[in-house]
Amino acid sequence: MKHARIVTILIGLASMGEMSAGAPGSDVDLRLSLLVDVSGSVNDTEYALMMTGFASAFENSAVHAAIGRGDIGAIAVNMVQFASLTQEVIDWTLVDDAVSANALAAILRSTPNAGLDAPGPSTGIGNGIGASAATFPGSPFSSDRNIIDVSGDGVTSVGTPAATARDNALAGGITTINGIVISDDDGEILAHYEDEVIGGANAFATSAATFEDFEQEILRKILAEITGRRLGSFPIPAVIRQAHLMLVRNGYQDINSRLFRLRAGERGPGPETLPGEVYRAPLSDKGGKGGMAKGGQELLGPPTTTWKRWEVFGSVGYFTSEVDEQAIVPGQVFVPGFDVDAINGTVGIEYDVNRNWSLGAAVVGSDGEADIDGGSDIDIQDLGLAVYASYFRADAFNAMGAPADFWADLLYGYNSGEYDTKRVTVGGLANGSTDTSSHLVEFNAGLNISNGSVIHGPYAGLAFMDGEVDAFTETGPGAVSYPEVDIESTVSTLGYQVSFPMETARGKVVPQVRAAWEHEFEDGPVTVAGLALGEPDEDVAVFGAGLLWQFHPDAYAVLDYEGRFGDISESHGVVLRVGAVF
């Protein structure tokens, strides 16, 4: 029997071919050691259910996607079995695509119980942790994340105390020890795992009531370990709500560079007085008496005033944001972390009513994706319409002993979005589609103080957004119906800018830097119909820098960057805007 078991394992490992080979020092995103209880309390049927659960997890497309989303796109896995004794039954194996993951699953299904049980107490969790930790130094792979995943149905009854082995393993370089308990008792075994087995960064323990439930729980657990996030469940409208808030605010940010130019005192050419045209007096004019010109004499006509009141403009930009996970019930319910990447653009027109007032309108669009920790994602398409009015008065005040311009701007925007969701569940992917809509009202004002070649001054703003994510129902395994979710935001801004207008041989150039503090008044935790939606950043530091180039009397370009830094999120946006007057 022993020889047959060894032959089976060797044949399985040989079938892995190049997959199990790794050059010494090969980097992977994660080294994961599966530590499995095979003590006397685990019969053959239960053992088979456990191994089927492990195999099914690595056959799952959600696991393949999660591995592929890693920085390197590869993990290394081994398996150690324990009772009173221990044995490594699967050596370190590279998993970097669906083929290698399915091959590992085949090995897992064919790996027999190592028969490590002995008479008397035989659940040596501490022995198992020590044996698992000992396999890491000799691994042909390296990683900053090294996890031991313990599966069992009992408390430590023999050998090294679990807490001692845990502390030694963590001190020796293991990043995290997690646990999954197979038990329907009153929580004694789970409490033992939580108190004495698990430890390290983001450690957690979970449970499956029966061995039949193990397959579902181990999939969730392995997904959490691959992605580096705590186990839990989440409502996907939470991500949609936050993504919509960010994309709308970024898309409507400084349409037509009007705020950039107002802060720099650059409103456009305005009225222009041209000298009169030169013409010749008619030849029929004979005299020259009484101030009359002789025929054929060159004369200068009266001056004329022109005003190019219209302007067309367009922009294209890139936006990226990273939002951290928010734990609602630690270890159980959370709003997951996610990244948003989007391309946005605007086209529009502006009209100067007079020397002080301008009116404008623009179409705003965004196309992007939110990648959610754990393999879920959302495809995003947003389209909006904005109208605005700007006021500028030169030398309106004296401030700090220098003349100061005053400017103000009011914008209204309506936005509609389509969000197609793919959420990872234990059974596969649940798909959904929903729409969003929102109204944005934003007011900004500031002073421009002129000191020599520098224009600087404070500015402030207040923005209100109100909208909703429509109710929708997913399709596919694990589908969920979600209620309508409100989108509400009230944000104040206080900032200061410095601009440096310069005349060059190639036109006027205006570098600008600015810094601001934003405060969100709708800053409490949000729940809808029992769904935890997390909370936005209460305070955000905003830094911006840009360059305006008036390369033609009637045309300009602005390249602008803005970064936003909060406790929960960080985002960066860069945009190129161009405009021409006529």
Instruction: Write out the DSSP string of 58-80.
Output: HH-HHHHHHHHTSSSS-EEEEEE
CA distances from 82 to 88, 117, 337 (A): 9, 8, 35
Residue type, 556: Y
pTM over 0.85: no
Dihedral sign for Cα 210, 86, 218, 55, please. negative
Task: Specify whether the CB–CB gap between 364 and 252 falls below 8 A.
Answer: yes
The rounded distance, in Å, linking the Cα atoms of 402 and 66 is 59
Confidence at residue 281, expressed as pLDDT on a 0 to 100 scale: 52
- In this prediction, residue 19 has a pLDDT band, given cuts at 50, 70 and 90, of very low
Confidence at residue 394, expressed as pLDDT on a 0 to 100 scale: 87
Confidence at residue 345, expressed as pLDDT on a 0 to 100 scale: 94
- 279, pLDDT greater than 80: no
- In this prediction, residue 168 has a pLDDT band, given cuts at 50, 70 and 90, of very high
Q: Which of 62-71, 101-110, 302-311, 451-460 has the lowest mean pLDDT?
A: 302-311
The rounded distance, in Å, linking the Cα atoms of 406 and 404 is 7
The rounded distance, in Å, linking the Cα atoms of 20 and 320 is 37
The rounded distance, in Å, linking the Cα atoms of 209 and 50 is 13
Helix, strand and coil in the chain, % to nearest 5 = 20, 50, 30
Read off the tokens for 418: 């389509």
Q: 488 or 257: whose pLDDT is higher?
A: 488
* Structural domain spans, the chain: 26-227, 236-268+312-581
Q: What is the pLDDT of residues 176-204, one digit of tens each?
A: 999 998 876 667 888 899 999 999 987 88
- 306, pLDDT greater than 70: no
The whole-number average pLDDT for the span 404-433 is: 88
Which of these, 179, 190, 209, 210, lies nearest to 45 by C-alpha position?
210
The rounded distance, in Å, linking the Cα atoms of 359 and 410 is 10
The rounded distance, in Å, linking the Cα atoms of 512 and 446 is 15
Q: What is the pLDDT of residues 109-146, one digit of tens each?
A: 999 998 886 665 588 999 999 999 999 999 999 999 99
Read off the tokens for 174: 């293991």
Residue type, 245: L
| Phi, psi (rounded to 5 degrees) for 479 | -60, 145
Task: Specify whether the CB–CB gap between 276 and 301 falls below 8 A.
Answer: yes
- In this prediction, residue 278 has a pLDDT band, given cuts at 50, 70 and 90, of low
- In this prediction, residue 22 has a pLDDT band, given cuts at 50, 70 and 90, of very low
Fold category of 26-227 in CATH: Rossmann fold (3.40.50)
Task: Specify whether the CB–CB gap between 239 and 338 falls below 8 A.
Answer: yes
- 16, pLDDT greater than 50: no
Which of these, 412, 413, 396, lies nearest to 404 by C-alpha position?
396
Q: Identify the top-confidence range among 4-18, 222-236, 278-292, 489-503.
A: 489-503
- In this prediction, residue 5 has a pLDDT band, given cuts at 50, 70 and 90, of very low
Task: Specify whether the CB–CB gap between 422 and 475 falls below 8 A.
Answer: no
Which of these, 34, 19, 27, 16, lies nearest to 141 by C-alpha position?
27
Confidence at residue 403, expressed as pLDDT on a 0 to 100 scale: 85
Task: Specify whether the CB–CB gap between 472 and 433 falls below 8 A.
Answer: yes
Q: Which residues is 359 bridged to in the sheet? A: 351, 389
Q: Which of 316-330, 344-358, 441-455, 503-517 has the lowest mean pLDDT?
A: 316-330
Task: Specify whether the CB–CB gap between 246 and 341 falls below 8 A.
Answer: no
Which residues, 6 or more positions from 190, have their beta carbon under 8 angstroms from its beta carbon? 181, 183, 205, 207
Which of these, 513, 395, 420, 520, lies nearest to 470 by C-alpha position?
420
- 221, pLDDT greater than 90: no
Q: Which of 107-121, 358-372, 382-396 has the lowest mean pLDDT?
A: 107-121
Fold category of 236-268+312-581 in CATH: Lipocalin (2.40.128)
- In this prediction, residue 408 has a pLDDT band, given cuts at 50, 70 and 90, of very high
Residue type, 374: G
| Phi, psi (rounded to 5 degrees) for 494 | -130, 125
Confidence at residue 21, expressed as pLDDT on a 0 to 100 scale: 41
- 263, pLDDT greater than 70: yes
